[in-house]
Structure 1
Amino acid sequence: MHLQTAVLFLASLASASNLPVPQQLFSNADGPSASWKIPTIHESAVQARRVLHLETIGTLSTIFPSTHSTENRPSDVSGAPIGLMDYFADCEPSTGNPTILAISIATSFKNVAAGSNITLSLRWHPQNGRPYSAAALPRFSLVGRLEELTAEEITAQHVAACFVGYHPDAAAWLPGNRIHESHWVRLVVEEIYWIGGFGDRAYIGWIPVQEWQNVTKEEIEGIRLPGEKGHGWGSWSSWLGLGGEDKQEQAWEL
């Protein structure tokens, strides 16, 4: 009953928007009529690394400790997860480990200091301003641990310049600032859980960390994500049931 309601809702939405409703959204696309193929795990890893390279803000998820000596927290949040927005930057392309400017007073980093594990969740935001279904776009979580960067690494990798290039406003709270204590860390990626979009046309599942680490700079630069600035929706034409880029662009006109 719920599925029927959802189908009717999407059909009515498409009708109001003059968009077709492709039947393959509600069935597996393994027949001869399918005009796309599900990306491999490695292809999905390349997409994920490009998202990491282009996006700048994600959600850090941690667990509240049972007690905290410097903070008055409700007793019932002990052991509860909390997800908070934070900045990251792709400053270690050889490893795929995101660089983070850790503010010691921030909840996420206090939880980690108290023993919490941590994940960074990201999703792709199309840049070309067209309407889109967020459920059809890539998103993923990086499970790992925080590791301090050494002074030598910070200098050799030009970490401050790289991070401020992604986040100009962060120049105000770099290490040594007068506002908050801060320090450079990397999220050492140990596991990757990927949702490439709808399951009948995108890979959904775990990406081995070796695949994540082995993606090359050339591979990252050689692909384009759906709705990336300066490019059309590409493979979205099949999702929309449209025959070509011209029709596709016309259909997205408001």
Structure 2
Amino acid sequence: MYFVAALALLAGLSAASRLPSTQHIFSNPTSNDESMNRIPTVHESAVQARRILHLENIGTLSTIFPSTHSAENRPSDVSGTPIGLMDYFGDCEPSTGNPTILAISIATSFKNVAAGSNITLSLRWHPPGHHRPFSPASLPRFSLVGYLEELSPEDVVKQSVAVCFVRYHPDAAAWLPGNKIHESKWVRLVVEEIYWIGGFGNVAYIGWIPVEEWKSVTKEEIEAIRLPGEKKHRWGH
């Protein structure tokens, strides 16, 4: 038994000796350093987040149940409880970074907002095809904190919102405003705060991204970078 324990200890020490240095956690190399362990800057992380917003189309809307209700048979003990539900979004206002959402009035998330709840949209990156990593925890994800604002008829026409959204979600054509199934309207999530987890902390930035950084990202920056799993992505995991 002692011999087995000693072998296990030696194996552990051997494995530990092959681990990369943690020094880069405390001193980030310059942007000219080609090391795969360089931690992206806050702005680089904002660019990654904006690319995820552009490429993904499904996220999780989180809201809070109101303290009172009368429109449905809801357990009384869920009052004040948060709930996260899948929903569609589209990057149909790329100049602002505010995601576009088709708000279905009967849906729980939008009923909670109408009752006074705040709201967040959480996204995560899904690499294409077979480029899935061993650990999904190594992939970037983030949450957008803000509030819903209805789009004006002028905004809808000027920005071709319906065309953009249906390009992301062809099935949503059945639920566009004016449909005979559900009452719906176009809204934007006005982004006020961004919380970002770029992956494991030894190679990725984790923390808040100022909204000014989020808004300052350009179309050219979004098109120039690559996320983990895309060809020639810039930051390895």
Secondary structure of 2:24's partner?
A: coil
Q: Which aligned pairs between 1:184-199 and structure 2 lie closer than 5 A?
A: 184-199=186-201
Cα-to-partner distance string for 1:93-132 (whole Å, 9 max, x where unaligned): 1100000000000000000000000000000000031341
Of residues 192, 205, 216 in structure 1, which corresponds to 2:218? Answer: 216
SS in 2 for 1:23: coil
Matched, 1:51 2:52: yes
Q: 1:104 to 1:154 in 2, by over 3 A?
A: same
Equivalences for residues 5-84 of structure 1 within 5 A: 23-24=19-20, 27=22, 29-30=24-25, 35-84=36-85
User: How far apart are the structure 2 equivalents of 1:212 and 1:127?
Assistant: 24
RMSD: 2.4
- Tell me, in whole angstroms, the C-alpha distance in 1 between the residues paired with 2:232 and 2:129: 8
Distance in 1 between residues matched to 2:184 and 2:139, nearest whole Å: 33
For residues 75 and 188 of structure 2, what CA distance do their matches in structure 1 show? 30
- How many angstroms does 1:235 deviate by? 4.1
1:232-253 deviation per Cα after TM superposition (whole angstroms, max 9, x unaligned): 56643xx4xxxxxxxxxxxxxx
Output the CA distance in 1 between the equivalents of 2:209 and 2:234. Answer: 24
Matches of residues 94-133 of structure 1 in structure 2 within 5 Å? 94-132=95-133, 133=135
Would the alpha carbon gap of residues 162 and 22 (structure 1) be closer, same or farther in structure 2, given more than 3 Å must change?
farther
Partner of 1:4: none
Q: AA paired with 1:23? A: L
Contact (CA 8 Å) 1:28, 1:200: kept in 2 or not? no
Q: Give the residue type in structure 1 aligned to 2:19.
A: Q
Aligned length: 218
**Cα distance between partner residues in 2 of 1:176 and 1:76:** 35
Consecutive aligned runs of 4 or more in structure 1 exceeding 3 Å deviation = 26-32, 232-236
Taking the aligned partners of 1:96 and 1:124, their CA distance within structure 2 comes to 17
The CA distance in 2 between the partners of 1:110 and 1:208, in whole Å, is: 29
Using structure 2 for the length normalisation, give the TM-score. 0.86
Identical aligned pairs, as a percentage? Answer: 74
Q: Secondary structure at the match of 2:112?
A: helix
Deviation of 1:36 after TM superposition, in Å, equals 2.5
Q: How many Å separate the matches in 1 of 2:222 and 2:206?
A: 20
> Which amino acid is 2:24 matched to?
A
Does the 8 A contact of 1:144 with 1:190 survive in 2?
yes
Structure 2 residues without counterparts, runs of 5 or longer: 1-7, 30-34
Shift of 1:68: 1.1
Which residue is 1:5 aligned to? none
Q: 1:143 and 1:106 mapped to 2: Cα distance?
A: 19
